[in-house]
Amino acid sequence: MRFSLALSAYMAFSARASRYAERKLSARLDAGKEDPDRIDERRGIAGMERPEGDLIWFHAASVGESLSLLELIRRMSEERPDLHFLVTTGTVTSAQVMAARLPSAAFHQFIPVDALPYVRRFLDHWRPNLAVWTESELWPALIVETKARSIPMVIINARMSKTSHDRWRFLRGMVRRLLEQFDEAHVQDDLTASYLRHLGLPGDRLHVTGTLKEGAAALPCDETVRARLARHLNGRPTWLAASTHEGEEQKILDAHKQALKVNPRLLLVLVPRHPHRGDDVAALIEAQGFSFARRSAGEQPDPDIAVYLADTLGELGLWYRLAPISFVGGSLEPIGGHNPFEPAALGSVILHGPYVSNFVDIFQRLAEAKASRLVSSPDSLAAAVNDLLNPDRAAEMAHAAWEVCSAGAEVTDKALDMLLDHLDRTPRLTAD
């Protein structure tokens, strides 16, 4: 590895960063951002024994990235039943989601803080045969130490924003040394490929394949619960605001108030991105004078309820199945949007705001196929909801979205072939 002063300085700091890391962990614990029962995992202390045999380690930044891996892991497990899968993330929410969704051969651990003693402890225990990084989250000590152990590393589903590129380019020597450690990279789009090539990832290792979220399996739901709620709704017109953020709920409620003037029986199912905001969102709904019920309290969307606050985790698959119209949150405020393929895969029409930088290429393809509709204000959102309550118009858009979504299954196929090829060329590292 060629010399980088910045990387050398970082590694020197990382080797002595245990006290600093403990202060950061303590602050995160106080803020509710860490699981106190599993905090040792952030120190590289494993919460379980390493299984015997080949182990593939996937690292994902948070919920969306980890969910995109599920279909790939399921397919790999079917192809190679002897494989085991370690999935690491850094957020409490992602850990909760993974616990409910990972197949039997896979398990979750929190990623260690990027302090060298913690990183070495983590790698000493798990000894992965192959390390797979998703998106473009780069932890220098973890990358350097993994490479030092001759563990092959690849990137899949990589996406880099202009903001991330501009931040990294001031440390171009450092990021070049880090990117050179990866054997291969599957990236989501040409722009990401351009950014990574500019930052130093060798062009012959780069492949533009699209996003794994295109090939992901549809979000699951409990069919018994779905059928019960469908009977309870009894054909009532319903629309969904999914994965909403602070600042968006007010606009969504304003739109619902307008839409109710045309469709007085209309129900809004409101799903905050972060369920812990449930109390704040409930207070906002109440202040607007809506009758509402809360899923977290075990309440039902009765006929006299105008808004159903679904402040629970992991039930979007249920709501996308029940609501024929879905507004995809994170897009009326400058968040960047969320995955539109989730509603598309389940036949729900897609509405979204102007802020979709996280999925700009996907939303562009949906727009070209007339498979989604852009809204920019409560007025336009209300008008779109009322218009798409027409079953024929909704069905046409939903089918177009499904076609765009289903065309991406080959992305998972390419990632699967690439990972199995690297695994087959890798010396076995699991023997003590």
Residue 65 designated active-site: yes
387 Cβ partners below 8 Å, 6+ apart? 393
Q: What is the CA radius of gyration of the chain?
A: 23
Domains and CATH numbers, the chain: 5-210+410-424 (3.40.50.11720), 223-407 (3.40.50.2000)
How confident is the model at residue 87, as a pLDDT?
95
- Show the CA angle centred on residue 283, arms to residues 279 and 286, nearest 5°: 135
Candidates 34, 41, 52, 65; catalytic one = 65
The secondary structure of residue 233, as a DSSP letter, is: H
Tell me the angle at which helices 116-126 and 140-148 cross, rounded to the nearest 10 degrees: 40
> SS3 of 38, please?
helix
> SS3 of 306, please?
coil
Distances in Å between the Cα of 320 and the Cα atoms of 228, 315, 334, 387 are 15, 9, 23, 18
How confident is the model at residue 1, as a pLDDT?
53
Which pTM does this prediction carry? 0.68
Q: 3-state SS of the chain: helix, strand, coil percent to 5?
A: 50, 15, 35
Instruction: Render each residue's pLDDT in the chain as its tens digit; 432 residues.
Output: 567 899 999 999 999 999 999 999 999 999 999 999 999 999 999 999 999 999 999 999 877 778 778 888 988 998 999 999 999 999 898 888 888 788 889 999 999 999 999 999 999 999 999 999 987 678 999 999 999 999 999 999 998 888 888 888 888 899 999 999 999 999 988 999 999 999 999 999 999 998 887 666 788 899 999 999 999 999 999 999 999 999 999 999 999 999 999 999 999 999 999 999 999 999 999 999 999 999 999 999 999 999 999 999 989 999 999 999 999 999 999 999 998 989 998 999 999 999 998 888 789 889 999 999 999 999 999 999 999 999 999 999 999 998 888 766 778 889 999 999 999 887 665 444
Question: How far apart are the C-alpha atoms of 344 and 198, rounded to whole Å?
Answer: 34
Q: Count how many residues are written for the chain.
A: 432
